[in-house]
Chains A and B, each alone.
Chain A
Amino acid sequence: MTGSLRAYEHWVASYRRVWRGSVVSSVLNPVLYLTALGVGLGKLVNHGAHPLGVSYISFVAPGMLAAVAMQIASFEATYPVMASIRWTRVYHAMLATPLRIRDVLLGHQLYFASRVAASSGIYLVILTAFGALHSAYAILAWPVAILIGIAFSAPIAGFAAWAKKDSWFAALFRFGIVPLFLFSGTFFPVSRLPEGLRQLAYVTPLWHGVDLIRHLTLGTVTWGMALVHVAYLVTLAAVGLVLAERSYTKRLVL
């Protein structure tokens, strides 16, 4: 573990050079989205009774939180991982020292998790300001968001190490991340999806994250279902880490 912390220090030092831009977008993005969707679109959705049982902003805000965790983790685990292998060769520098593949991998994952933690933490504070949190359990949405991040960043880092070209990432986002973003219950309940697509949504990772976070912020969580969601995400993260270690080894140990 100490090895991965040393690798992590590298990423923190690099981040200190660019933190301003990322903090601005971490604050600005949720404010813009919540204003447009929660307040603006919400006016139409909430018209008359609340068809979702709650105001639209209270419905969409937790979905956005989960989706943002996914997006940050996914983006961080693609180009920067490929860059560290091929362009900046940061991983190679680390591996010439006592650090091992596992340290290099975990150090970077720890950094992705930190990025997700910072952004989702800011997001939760903003949600409080928008009055979109309805339960003290909402605090648990924070670690869940971080878990969602790792469940994406671990397998995607493995994919990024294995990928032959960076154009593969465009395909990953187009056919993977964007559809998940749109159809995992982020903006509307999965129950409104047609038969077949609905079942598909239930097995996607983001839906588990969205559903868990939403029940936490609305205070409607049932612990049995929460356990299923957490187990799903933990499994994805663990399998992702194992695969990523293999993929890193194949790419870096020649």
Chain B
Amino acid sequence: MSDNGALIHARGLTKRFGALTAVDAIDFDVRKGEAFGFLGPNGAGKSSTMRMIGCVSPITAGTLRVLGLDPGRDGPAIRGRLGVVPQLDTLDLELTVRENLVIYGRYFGLSRKELRARTDELLEFVQLSERADDPVAPLSGGMKRRLTIARSLVNDPDVLLLDEPTTGLDPQARHVVWDRLFRLKQQGVTLVLTTHYMDEAEQLCDRLVIMHQGTIAEEGSPIELIQRLSTREVVELRFAGEAPTIEADVFDGRAARVEVLPDRILLYTDDGDALVPLAHERLQPMSVLVRRSTLEDVFLRLTGRTLIE
């Protein structure tokens, strides 16, 4: 491992495509056994970072060590110990569920005998045992995603890289995937994932970095980030039509921040209930909801759409 015992160690990690800097000198460490997230909007540099960690994309500058090895020199050896769930499924649609696992396992040099036992185990884990001998093409999006996860585990990886693991899945399918990933985490598998879903990051990540335009804007645990960058509660005011334009001091300074979105206004405060009567009186919203602060709120602040700071 690298000097500080991190499984993945990056300093000044940079990726440029011609004139475009996709990843701009970022530093991070992923420790053994943790679930580490890259959170950010599309184009923030998450996938480029993942591809460098996965040793499929050479770094432009900086230092990167994965499992203590240099991706530029030891790519195949590192990849042999990683599991990868890519953003777009790369399953063989004409092959059966089981064949997909066996063929993929062969890429790692596992014997067919080893793979027979391993595939049964993995299909059980992702709840696809009954579909083992069906072709992949007609499976639902959620099933394909689970199969991709099973496939990424075929070599019993030290680190699992998941690039937007639940993008495009319906809520139920997302929860099944989260449940499986949570179990892997409990078994001690190190997870590295990208997402633009705040709830996903909150559900799965021990620690995360928020990426914005190729740089790391913030780093911490979900709770730390919420505490540091948001308030305890948020009051959501919904309006029938467009949200009204408001003056900065409409709440007499009692809201720490006010966020105006097209159809609603968010009030950031440590005591949501205290603001509700005032909100009703001054803005006549259609509905009012007090909820706890989420990473989404952190994110909106960092990417800058706030009216009052």
A residues with CB within 8 A of B = 2, 6-7, 9-10, 13-14, 17-18, 88-90, 92-100, 253-254
Contact = CB atoms under 8 A, between A and B. Distances in A.
A253 B80 CA distance: 18
A196 to B, nearest CB: 45
A6 B109 contact: yes
Given A95-B56, A96-B56, A2 B94 contact: no
B217 interface: no
B107 A14 contact: no
B17 A98 contact: no
A9 B106 contact: yes
Contacts of B103: 9-10, 13
Contacts of B95: 13-14, 17
A-B CB proximity, top 4 nearest? A93-B90, A97-B107, A96-B84, A98-B76
B92 A97 contact: no
B60 to A, nearest CB: 11
Contacts of B93: 88
A10 B99 CA distance: 9
Max chain B CB contacts within 10 Å: which of A9, A10, A92, A100? A10
A100 B76 contact: yes
Nearest to A7: B107
Q: How large is the interface on B (under 10, 10 to 19, 20 to 34, 35 or more residues)?
A: 20 to 34
24 contacts: A6-B109, A13-B99, A14-B92, A14-B94, A14-B95, A17-B95, A18-B94, A88-B90, A89-B90, A90-B90, A90-B92, A92-B86, A93-B86, A93-B90, A94-B107, A96-B54, A97-B104, A98-B77, A98-B79, A98-B107, A98-B108, A98-B109, A100-B76, A253-B56
Interface string B28-70: 0000000000000000000000010010111000000000000
B204 to A, nearest CB: 21
A7 B103 CA distance: 9
Contacts of B90: 88-90, 92-93, 96
Contacts of B108: 97-98
A89 B107 contact: no
A97 B79 contact: yes
Contacts of B106: 6, 9-10
Interface centre among A88, A90, A97 (most CB of B within 10 A): A97
B88 interface: yes
B56 A98 contact: no
Given A88-B90, A92-B90, A97-B108, 7 more contacts: A10-B103, A13-B92, A17-B95, A96-B79, A96-B86, A98-B77, A254-B57
Contacts of B109: 2, 6, 98
A93 B56 contact: no
A6 B108 CA distance: 8
Contact of A10 (B56, B84, B92): B92
B106 to A, nearest CB: 5
A9 B107 CA distance: 9
A93 to B, nearest CB: 4
Contacts of A89: 86, 88, 90
A93 B80 CA distance: 13
A88 B99 CA distance: 16
Nearest to B76: A98
A243 B237 CA distance: 62
A88 B91 CA distance: 8
Nearest to A15: B94
A253 B58 contact: yes
Given A6-B107, A253-B56, A97 B99 contact: no
Contacts of A254: 17, 51, 57
